[in-house]
Every structure is written in C-alpha cells, then in structure tokens.
C-alpha cells in the first residue's frame, strides 16, 4: 500500500507506505552509511543517499491537486525521500561537525532544493533531522533527511495563513520579519545573532528549549541565500547544536526543521527559518507529546522561554558567534 489518503476531518493528506514495516533487520555492527559498506562511496564527506523505503517516490502515482477532496479520496504519493549523510564517521554527534562540514551540508540541501524546484510535481521541500533515540532514531550515524512532497505541509499552510492575516492587518508587512526585529530589539530571548541570522527562544515556545533561527533579510528558501548568509547559517546551526549538547552534558534529542516557502505558490507570504525542537525538558526528563498536545493540539510548557534563553546563552561551547 503506497498511497495518500485524505483525512477529511483534519483536512490533510496522510501518506501510507506499508512496506516500511518489512524493513530488513540489519546485521549488528553493520551500517549501510559507513565507507566500505558497499552502499556508499568508499570516500565521502557529505553524501545524498536515496531512502530505501520512501513514503514519497518519483515512481509513485502522480498527485492530482483537488480543492475539495471527496470523503474517502486517495491520491498519488509522487515525490522523493533522501537521506543526507553528514559525515562518514559513524558515532560523530552532529554538534561535533566542523563549520566546513555544515557548509557542505547546506550546499547539498540547496542543490537538492534547486533540483526539486525544477520538477513541477513537487510542491515543497521538507529538510529535517531526527536526532536521538527519544525521537525514534535507532541509527547513530549522523544524518538528516529531505522529503520532496506534492502538497503543502499542514503546519506550513497554517503559518502562511497567519502571515497572510498579519500582512492584511499591517500594510503588507511580513509577520516573520517583524517577529525577528522585535526579538532582536527586546533581547531577552536571543541566543545568538549577527547581521544575517538571529536565533531566539520563541515568545510562546511549545517545546522546552525550542529555538527559532531566522534570516534577517526577507528570503523565502535556501535558493535565495547569499554566500555570506549560508556561512552565517552554518555558524548558527553549529553554535546552537553545541549549546544544546552542553546544556545537560549529553547529546540533546531533537528535531531540526528547515522551513522553506512552497515552490509553486510564489505569492504565499513566507520567510525562511529553522526550528529546533528538543525533547528533553530537564537533564533527566523527556518531554512526551501526550493527550493535550497530540489529542487536542494544545501545548503545556513548563519552562519560561526567557529563563531557557538565559541558560542557552550561558552555555559556551569553545567558539561562538
Ligand atoms: Zn554508520
Ligand atoms: Zn520576512
């Protein structure tokens, strides 16, 4: 079963890829991402590895956009899923990647986004990383993923709608540009900043130690970033990841989410940013998404964003911005 089904109650597509359940058990001590495995080049620094069990694939049925899908509508999961190998070193935590390494990863993300932008079947490119066993990652090898999907992800749709409402109420102003300006002016939640990017704990953060990293200039996707901005992005990602790992003294389980504007709807008001969503609410306690969050979509937070920002500012990895 490889199909999208319409959830008419939540108005969103759910991707079914049931053969993922039959993933072969891998031999112990063998990792397909290691040089010498026969699955990747014998030498690489960063590498794009096609997902062996993709939820979205170029060979799938085409996606036919519908304004009002039927109650039990199905659609084609046309798209692509790739794994981005950050490094050939199996046990290297992402916080230990060099700046040069992050720059190469950003270049790979950008190249893949450009390739998908040329494909009219792709609506948006989701670039993300699940890090740590708490997020269900069993493979320690440092890696992230790129999903190219044929519809706009529900959260991004909500964000676009918020930006649209804000622009209507404020003479066309970008909601995200305004947020960044206010955070930089107020300072209490800022983690790091330079002329190109600013990182802060959002005013109403939903996750403990959540950080938003925003381009200072109004840019929509990775494709709009200058060389200087890409360098700054690499520096900020590196600093944030190192701060997280020194916060409790171990690798922070987290989701890193790159948010890019839809590729086709060039009118959609959007602003490139990266979200870091950690799942550790203290040194010993994990944050579980339970009934209020998952069942009702309403988050309960138990750390003040200003206090968390202060703690993250105080975590000083060897180099910072
Ligand atoms: Zn490995
Ligand atoms: Zn903006």
Task: Give the burial class of 248: count Cβ atoms within 10 A of its Cβ; 0-12 exposed, 13-18 middle, 19 or more buried.
Answer: middle
Instruction: Flag whether 37 is in a domain.
Output: yes
Measured from the alpha carbon of residue 220, the closest ligand is 2
**pLDDT per position in the chain (321 positions), as tens?**
899 999 999 999 999 998 766 666 677 788 999 999 999 999 999 999 988 778 899 999 999 999 899 999 999 999 999 999 999 999 999 999 999 999 999 999 999 999 999 999 999 999 999 999 888 887 789 999 999 999 999 999 999 999 999 999 999 999 999 999 999 999 999 999 999 999 999 999 999 999 999 999 999 999 999 999 999 999 999 999 999 999 999 999 999 999 999 999 989 999 999 999 999 989 999 888 889 999 999 999 989 999 999 999 999 876 544
* Rounded distance from Cα 89 to ligand 1 centre (Å): 7
Q: Please name every residue paired with 198 in a beta bridge, in sequence order, or none if there are none.
A: 193, 214
* Rounded distance from Cα 41 to ligand 2 centre (Å): 40
Instruction: Flag whether 42 is in a domain.
Output: yes
* Rounded distance from Cα 252 to ligand 2 centre (Å): 29
Measured from the alpha carbon of residue 47, the closest ligand is 1
Instruction: Flag whether 289 is in a domain.
Output: yes
Report pLDDT for 115. 98
* Rounded distance from Cα 163 to ligand 2 centre (Å): 9
CATH number at residue 169: 3.30.428.10
Q: Is 143 a catalytic residue?
A: yes
Angle at 104 between CA 209 and CA 260, to 5 degrees: 55
- DSSP-assigned letter for residue 58: T
Choosing from 2, 141, 143, 271, the catalytic residue is 143
Predicted model pTM: 0.95
Length of the chain: 321
From the list 18, 13, 7, 106, the residue with the least C-alpha distance to 54 is 18
* Rounded distance from Cα 177 to ligand 2 centre (Å): 4
Instruction: Flag whether 63 is in a domain.
Output: yes
* Rounded distance from Cα 33 to ligand 1 centre (Å): 5
* Rounded distance from Cα 20 to ligand 1 centre (Å): 20
Across 43-62, b (16+ Cβ under 10 Å) vs e yields eeebbebebeebbbbeebee
Measured from the alpha carbon of residue 143, the closest ligand is 1
* Rounded distance from Cα 117 to ligand 1 centre (Å): 30
- Protein residues within 5 Å, CB atom, of ion ligand 2: 174, 176-177, 218, 271
Report pLDDT for 216. 98
Report pLDDT for 319. 53
Question: How many domains, the chain?
Answer: 1
Instruction: Flag whether 320 is in a domain.
Output: no
Report pLDDT for 133. 86
Asked if residues 169 and 183 have their Cβ atoms less than 8 Å apart, the reply is no
Distance, C-alpha 261 to centroid of its chain: 13
Instruction: Flag whether 321 is in a domain.
Output: no
Instruction: Flag whether 109 is in a domain.
Output: yes
Place of tokens 């190998």: 85
Measured from the alpha carbon of residue 273, the closest ligand is 2
Report pLDDT for 52. 79
Measured from the alpha carbon of residue 86, the closest ligand is 1
Instruction: Give the domain extent around 179.
Output: 2-18+27-314
* Rounded distance from Cα 170 to ligand 2 centre (Å): 13
């Amino acid at each position: 079963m490889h199909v999208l089904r319409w959830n008419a109650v939540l108005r969103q597509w759910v991707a079914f890829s049931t053969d993922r359940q039959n993933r072969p058990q891998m031999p112990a001590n063998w990792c397909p991402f290691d040089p010498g495995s026969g699955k990747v080049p014998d030498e690489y620094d960063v590498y794009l590895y096609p997902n062996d069990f993709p939820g979205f694939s170029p060979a799938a049925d085409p996606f036919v956009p519908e304004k009002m899908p039927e109650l039990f509508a199905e659609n084609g999961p046309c798209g692509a899923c790739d794994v981005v190998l950050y490094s050939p070193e199996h046990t290297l935590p992402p916080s230990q990647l060099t700046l040069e390494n992050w720059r190469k990863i950003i270049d790979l993300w950008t190249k893949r986004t450009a390739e998908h932008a040329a494909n009219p079947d792709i609506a948006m490119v989701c670039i993300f990383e699940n890090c740590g066993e708490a997020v269900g990652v069993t493979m320690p090898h440092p890696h992230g993923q790129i999903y190219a999907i044929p519809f706009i992800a529900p959260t991004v749709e909500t964000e676009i709608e918020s930006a649209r409402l804000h622009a209507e109420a404020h003479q066309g102003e970008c909601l995200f540009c305004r947020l960044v300006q206010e955070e930089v002016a107020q300072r209490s939640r800022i983690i790091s900043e330079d002329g190109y990017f600013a990182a802060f704990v959002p005013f109403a953060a939903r996750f403990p130690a959540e950080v938003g990293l925003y381009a200072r200039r109004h840019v929509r996707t990775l494709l709009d970033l200058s060389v200087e901005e890409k360098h700054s992005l690499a520096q900020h990602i590196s600093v944030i990841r190192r701060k997280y790992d020194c916060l409790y003294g171990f690798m922070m389980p987290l989701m890193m989410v790159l948010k890019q504007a839809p590729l086709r709807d060039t009118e959609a008001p959007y602003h490139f940013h990266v979200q870091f969503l950690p799942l550790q609410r203290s040194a010993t306690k994990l944050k579980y998404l339970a009934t209020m969050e998952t069942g009702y979509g309403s988050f309960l937070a138990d750390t003040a964003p200003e206090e968390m920002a202060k703690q993250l500012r105080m975590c000083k990895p060897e180099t910072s911005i």
